[in-house]
C-alpha cells in the first residue's frame, strides 16, 4: 500500500473508531491507497480547486484528494461514527478538510459559500448515487456550480450514464447525461478492492458539463424520455401516448419516424421531440 501521509493505515482507523461497515449506508470502503490516489488523479488537476466529496467514510479517498493537492475538501458524511476519524485527517492537513455531518441529499452545495472552481469526487453510496447524479446534472443553473464529476458507481449504472443510442444500457439517464454533459468510463474496480466486497464490479465515471446544451425544457425532456423508455419495446407512436397529447403530430414536427423505438433516438432527436411536445 502506498504511503501518502503519516496518518495510520485505514484498517487501523476502522478498528480504532469501530467503523464496521453498515449495508444500509452503502458502506463498501476502499482501503488501498494506490487505488484512492488513482481516483484522485483521474479527477484532473486539484490545485486551485475545492473538492466536494460525498461519503468520506473512514477517509481513504479524502486523504488521497488532500495529498494530491486539493486546496480544500468539503466532505458530506451521514454516518456520525466517522466524524472522529475525519477530524484526525482535518488536523493532519491543517484544516483543509471541512466535514459536514448530514445527508448529502439534503445539502445544497451552492449554499456552502465555496469560492473558486469545484470538482466533485466520490465513491458514492449505491443507494443514493443515481439520485445525487441527477441532482447535479439537472440543476436550473447551467453551466452548473461544478467543473467535473469523478464518481464511482456500480458498473451497470456507469454503463447507463455513458450509454449511446442502440445499446441495451441506453435510457433516460444516458439521454439526460448526454444532453448536459460529456462523459466517459475511466476504469473498473473489482469487488475485492472493497471492504466488505460488494457483489458487483464498480466503475469510475468522469463527467464535464457541456457549456451549451441544445435549447430544451428539462422538465419536458424528462417527461418525454420517461414515456419513451417506460415502454421501450413499443414504437414511439404508442409509448408517447402516456404524455396526454397525440404522439403523431409531435413526432412529425420532430422529424422522427412514428415507428421508431426509444433506443434508436439520439439525444438531439429527444430534444426535438421535447421541443415539439412543448409546442416550440
Contacts with ligand SAM by CB under 6 A lie at 25-30, 54-57, 60-61, 76-79, 103-105, 123, 125, 128
In angstroms, how far is CA 187 from the centroid of its own chain?
Answer: 15
Closest distance to ligand SAM from the beta carbon of 214 (Å): 32
Backbone angles phi, psi at 138, to 5 degrees: -115, 25
Note whether 213 and 139 are within 8 A (CB). no
Residue 208 beta carbon to ligand SAM: minimum distance, rounded to whole angstroms: 22
Distance of CA 125 to the CA centre of its chain: 10
Provide the Cα torsion 140, 145, 147, 149; round to 10°: -70
> Measured between alpha carbons, how far is 175 from 151 in angstroms, rounded to an integer?
18
The alpha helices in the chain, defined as continuous H runs, are: 10-17, 33-42, 60-67, 83-92, 129-137, 155-162, 172-180, 218-230, 236-239, 247-253, 267-278
CB nearer to ligand SAM: pick between 93 and 270: 93
Residue placing its CB nearer to ligand SAM in the complex, 21 or 214: 21
* Residues 261 and 248: beta-carbon distance below 8 Å: no
Residue 75 Cβ vs ligand SAM, minimum distance, rounded to whole Å: 8
Least Å from the CB of residue 157 to ligand SAM: 13
Q: Which is nearer to ligand SAM, 31 or 243 (CB)?
A: 31
User: Considering the complex, what minimum distance in angstroms separates the CB of residue 86 from ligand SAM?
Assistant: 10
Q: Which residue is nearest to ligand SAM (CB)?
A: 55
Least separation in angstroms between residue 259's CB and ligand SAM is 43
Instruction: Choose between 54 and 221: whose C-beta lies nearer to ligand SAM.
Output: 54
Pick the closer one to ligand SAM by CB: 57 or 209.
57
Residue 21: other Cβ atoms inside 10 A? 16
**Cβ 243 to ligand SAM shortest distance, Å:** 33
DSSP 3-state of 183: strand
Cβ closer to ligand SAM: 184 or 196?
196
Question: Which three three-digit cell numbers place residue 102?
Answer: 448530514
- Number of neighbouring beta carbons within 10 Å of residue 186: 16
Residue closer to ligand SAM, measured from CB, 29 or 49:
29
Amino acid at each position: 500500500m502506498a504511503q501518502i501521509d503519516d496518518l495510520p493505515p485505514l484498517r487501523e482507523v476502522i478498528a480504532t473508531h469501530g467503523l464496521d461497515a453498515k449495508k444500509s449506508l452503502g458502506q463498501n470502503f476502499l482501503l488501498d491507497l494506490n487505488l484512492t490516489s488513482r481516483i484522485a488523479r483521474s479527477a484532473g488537476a486539484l490545485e486551485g480547486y475545492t473538492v466536494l466529496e460525498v461519503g468520506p467514510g473512514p477517509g481513504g479517498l479524502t486523504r488521497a484528494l488532500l495529498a494530491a493537492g486539493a486546496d480544500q475538501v468539503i466532505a458530506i458524511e451521514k454516518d456520525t461514527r466517522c466524524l472522529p476519524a475525519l477530524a484526525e485527517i482535518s488536523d493532519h492537513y491543517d484544516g483543509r478538510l471541512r466535514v459536514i455531518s448530514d445527508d448529502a441529499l439534503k445539502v445544497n452545495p451552492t449554499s456552502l459559500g465555496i469560492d473558486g472552481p469545484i470538482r466533485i469526487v466520490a465513491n458514492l453510496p449505491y443507494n443514493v448515487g443515481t439520485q445525487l447524479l441527477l441532482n447535479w446534472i439537472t440543476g436550473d443553473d447551467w453551466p452548473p456550480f461544478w467543473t467535473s464529476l469523478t464518481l464511482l458507481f456500480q458498473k451497470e449504472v456507469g454503463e447507463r450514464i455513458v450509454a449511446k443510442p442502440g445499446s441495451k444500457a441506453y435510457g433516460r439517464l444516458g439521454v439526460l447525461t448526454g444532453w448536459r454533459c460529456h462523459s466517459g468510463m475511466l476504469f473498473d474496480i473489482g469487488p475485492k478492492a472493497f471492504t466488505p466486497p460488494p457483489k458487483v464490479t464498480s466503475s469510475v465515471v468522469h463527467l464535464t458539463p457541456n457549456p451549451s446544451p441544445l435549447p430544451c425544457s428539462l422538465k419536458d425532456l424528462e417527461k418525454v424520455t420517461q414515456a419513451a423508455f417506460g415502454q421501450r419495446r413499443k414504437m414511439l407512436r404508442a409509448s408517447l401516448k402516456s404524455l396526454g397529447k397525440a404522439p403523431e403530430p409531435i413526432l412529425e414536427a420532430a422529424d422522427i419516424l412514428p415507428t421508431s423505438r426509444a433506443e434508436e433516438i439520439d439525444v438531439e432527436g429527444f430534444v426535438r421531440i421535447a421541443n415539439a411536445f412543448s409546442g416550440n
